[in-house]
Amino acid sequence: MVVAVGGCGKQAAEAPKEAAGEDKPKAADGTVTLSAAQIATGGIELVRPTIGEGGGTIELPATIDGDPQGTQVVSAAIGGRVVALNRNLGQSVAAGTPLAVIESREAAQLKGEVEATRARLALANSNLAREQRLFDQRVSPEQDLIAARTAAIEARIAYRQASGQVAAAGGGGGSLNRIAIVSPIAGQVIARTAVLGQTVAADAELYRVARLGRVSLTLNLSPADAGRVRPGAHVVVTASGRQAAARIDFVSPALDPDTKLVAAIATLDNRAGLWRVGEPVTVAVDLAGSGNGSAIRIPSTALQTVDGKTVVFVRTPQGFKAVPVTLGQHAGDAVIVASGLSGREQVAAGNSFTLKSALGAIADED
């Protein structure tokens, strides 16, 4: 009887230990024993490998730029003093809108030449009309009419040339010594470097105007990723709770000599005005497939290193088993598995490091 009680007491003493052990993972030969409840409590994410041509995506930081084909620098064609600035940052302008007025001696010379050639042209036309009447009345010889006609043509050419020089410099600015600098395109003012009263040199930038219905992004790709990014590739742009789709327009065939990276340009529809030039964003670029229709890809977070080997924790009825794998090419946030998986398994991705820790802890206990 005493023995029986003693036996019962021993079993009762060991029972709590066994019950407590039910919540601890068990491992042997790379196997971690876990229940479904323990997997959920541990926050272990289960995913299935993807199989096919898709190459995954790569995430990069980028900055919104104006469309290179829709951005225009407005510069001073002549040197002088800035006496008027007619537009501020963010304002919309039409083509031909005066943005600034410059006052200078060169402006006076150009506009003075226009006035002089206009007067000469008027005089030449008057002489031509007079010679034409005299010729019709057979008073003046044809030679005088030809000379008058030639003089009128030359005066007209001189006037057009002088007017063209003023137009190239900007346009009328009111006074004889002032030139208005106009916007060459319709758009929005995105930069203003001129200051009222400032003396500027010829070709100095005064404004920058852009059509913002379409904006661009310049991406810097590693050579490996650049080889898998094609013109037309889909791009997802994300920033501050906004998301939009863009397309790759250009991938440079050459590396930047300083960064050793490859520049790529994507364009983004901005007719709704959601994106601002200079705004930092995150872009996810679709990568082309590896050319292997049976390629197996898993998230990079599924990879762990155990005893110097790269392993993936594969779901089993009892928990997980660490399976060694051979890796192929990386594809953004995923990696291609060359061998070790069939593609039909469930693998641990998020928080898979806890399984590695479990293996290490039990090995220490052993």
The kind and range of the H/E element at 34 are none
Contact 232, 225 (CB under 8 A): no
C-alpha to C-alpha distance for 192 and 89, rounded to whole angstroms: 7
The per-residue pLDDT for 321 is 93
Degrees (nearest 5) of the Cα angle 150, 156, 158? 105
Domains defined along the chain, listed by start = 26-55+293-365 (2.40.420.20), 57-67+212-286 (2.40.30.170), 77-104+177-210 (2.40.50.100), 107-171 (1.10.287)
Residue 129 has pLDDT above 90, yes or no: yes
Structure-block tokens of residue 71: 């951005």
d(CA 20, CA 16): 6
Cα–Cα nearest to 233, from 222, 243, 219: 219
- Other residues' Cβ atoms within 10 Å of the Cβ of residue 224: 12
pTM: 0.50
Q: Tell me: the pLDDT tens digits for 79-118?
A: 889 999 999 988 999 998 999 998 888 877 888 888 899 9
What pLDDT does residue 273 have?
Answer: 84
Helical ranges in the chain per DSSP H:
2-21, 36-41, 105-136, 142-169, 223-226, 353-365
Q: Is there a contact between 108 and 84 (Cβ–Cβ < 8 Å)?
A: no
Rounded Cα–Cα distance for residues 171 and 110 (Å): 11
> How distant, in Å, are the alpha carbons of 59, 197, 220, 258, 357 from that of 255?
20, 44, 10, 9, 42
Q: pLDDT, tens digit, for every residue of 277-313? A: 889 999 988 777 555 556 788 888 899 998 889 999 9
Indicate the pLDDT class of residue 7, thresholds 50, 70 and 90: very low
Closest alpha carbon to 225 in 56, 64, 62: 56
pLDDT, tens digit, for every residue of 194-250? 999 999 998 899 999 988 888 999 888 888 888 888 888 888 899 988 889 899 999
- Whose structure tokens read 């971690």? 32
Render pLDDT for 47-88 as a digit per residue (tens, 0 to 9).
888 776 555 677 888 999 888 788 899 988 888 899 999 999
Give 337-346 pLDDT, tens digit per residue.
888 998 888 9
Sequence-distant (≥ 6) Cβ neighbours of residue 155 within 8 angstroms: 117, 120, 121, 123, 124, 125
